[in-house]
């Protein structure tokens, strides 16, 4: 984080009456201590030695700043306004077909410090206890929604259902949509790739896309690489969330949310940060052969089976229309 971004963060916390200097510690020192811990995964004892503070003081400072940063969520993590981002507008491969796309959704797993008797529900794909974090990210690499705290064993579609059903949860602008992987299913406001169709590295190669579904999946994968890059930046900026936690689960959930908030703060004020510029994630290229079945959709208590089928058909038709128009244009340009 640059000096400018650091001081602006301190000012934002002060301006919103979220943090104040104490008799023995300024706002700047409190924030710096917090950033040292979350940025470099430093233990309280080491930070205490560095700042000549007791472990108790460091512990108290960390939790005070953590709660203050969390209150910046509605200020720094905002839902999309529906405008077309320059990354879409200025790219002929996307603009005409993805102008209504406001971002990408995906989940990421973060280690979860839970009691032994609860670990079975939290075991993720790799067998270790994790929390499954759902995030929506726009094409400026900023988080527009984050839901942390779900068990690592929970299916992505189940977590998305929870996010959508919350009173002030995940919201999508009218007639807009997000891109997601097959695990989220085809539903209102969310378009996955075609299952059983490969993702390709390049459009112009020895083996270019042969049909509209292949081209759609290729460009879908290219846009979805945004979320991979955002998660990579988050991991580099805040090492603490991808390392073994040394606090309880609730604190770890809060740390994940705070890290996403600070990520947006840095993107806003310091988009040329070295870490942001260094991260360059290639689109996903492995073949996608995932059948989207009824079980993968999870339960949606607010809709009947018939309503879900009707919505899925409607959005399947939207996807087909995008794919057809896009491939028609692609074929004309190549010939």
Domain count, the chain: 2
Task: Say what percent of the chain tops pLDDT 90.
Answer: 71
Residues 279 and 215 in one domain: yes
Residues 176 and 311 in one domain: yes
Residues 181 and 305 in one domain: yes
Residue ending a domain, among 27, 52, 71, is 71
11 belongs to a structural domain? yes
Q: What pLDDT, in 10s, does the model give residues 104-119?
A: 999 999 999 999 988 9
63 belongs to a structural domain? yes
CB 116 within 8 A of CB 61: no
Q: Which DSSP helix (H) or strand (E) runs through 328? A: helix 305-334
Residue ending a domain, among 20, 47, 71, is 71
Residues 24 and 96 in one domain: no
294 belongs to a structural domain? yes
304 belongs to a structural domain? yes
142 belongs to a structural domain? no
Residues 205 and 283 in one domain: yes
Residues 41 and 180 in one domain: no
**pLDDT for position 284:** 37
- At 257 the three-state DSSP class reads helix
Residue 150 has pLDDT above 80, yes or no: yes
Residues 59 and 191 in one domain: no
113 belongs to a structural domain? no
Side by side, which strands form the sheet with 143-151? 143-151, 130-137, 101-111, 177-179, 190-191
Quick one: DSSP state of residue 36?
H
Can you give the pTM of this predicted structure? Answer: 0.89
Residue 285 has pLDDT above 60, yes or no: no
Residues 86 and 18 in one domain: no
CA triple 74-112-241, angle to 5 deg: 55
291 belongs to a structural domain? yes
Residues 49 and 192 in one domain: no
Quick one: DSSP state of residue 117?
G
Residue ending a domain, among 50, 71, 92, is 71
CB 227 within 8 A of CB 135: yes
CA 326 to chain centroid: 27
Q: What pLDDT, in 10s, does the model give residues 53-85?
A: 999 999 999 999 999 999 999 999 999 988 898
Residues 260 and 189 in one domain: yes
Domain region containing 24: 3-71
Residues 213 and 259 in one domain: yes
40 belongs to a structural domain? yes
């Amino acid at each position: 984080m640059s000096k400018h971004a650091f001081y602006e963060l301190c000012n934002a916390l002060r301006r919103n009456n979220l943090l104040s200097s104490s008799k023995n510690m300024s706002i700047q020192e409190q924030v710096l201590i917090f950033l040292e811990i979350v940025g470099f995964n430093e233990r309280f004892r080491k930070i205490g030695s560095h700042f000549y503070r007791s472990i108790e003081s460091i512990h108290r400072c960390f939790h005070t700043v953590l709660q203050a940063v969390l209150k910046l969520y509605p200020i720094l993590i905002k839902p999309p306004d529906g405008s077309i981002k320059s990354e879409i507008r200025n790219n002929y491969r996307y603009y005409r077909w993805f102008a209504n796309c406001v971002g990408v959704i995906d989940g990421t797993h973060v280690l979860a410090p839970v009691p032994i008797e609860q670990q079975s529900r939290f075991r993720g794909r790799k067998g270790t206890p994790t929390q499954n974090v759902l995030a929506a990210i726009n094409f400026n690499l900023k988080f527009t929604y984050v839901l942390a705290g779900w068990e690592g064993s929970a299916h992505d579609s189940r977590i998305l259902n929870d996010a959508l059903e919350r009173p002030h949860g995940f919201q999508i602008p009218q007639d807009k949509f997000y891109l997601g992987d097959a695990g989220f299913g085809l539903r209102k406001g969310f378009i996955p790739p075609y299952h059983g169709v490969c993702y390709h590295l390049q459009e112009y190669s020895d083996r270019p896309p042969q049909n509209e579904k292949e081209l759609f999946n290729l460009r879908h994968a290219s846009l979805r690489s945004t979320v991979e890059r955002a998660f990579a930046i988050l991991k580099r900026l805040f090492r603490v969330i991808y390392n073994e936690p040394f606090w309880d689960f609730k604190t770890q959930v809060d740390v994940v949310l705070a890290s996403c908030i600070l990520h947006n703060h840095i993107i806003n004020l310091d988009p040329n940060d070295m870490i942001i510029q260094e991260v360059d994630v290639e689109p996903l290229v492995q073949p996608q052969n995932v059948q989207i079945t009824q079980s993968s959709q999870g339960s949606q208590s607010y809709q009947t089976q018939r309503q879900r089928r009707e919505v899925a058909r409607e959005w399947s038709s939207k996807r087909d229309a995008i794919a057809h128009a896009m491939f028609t244009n692609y074929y004309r340009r190549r010939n």
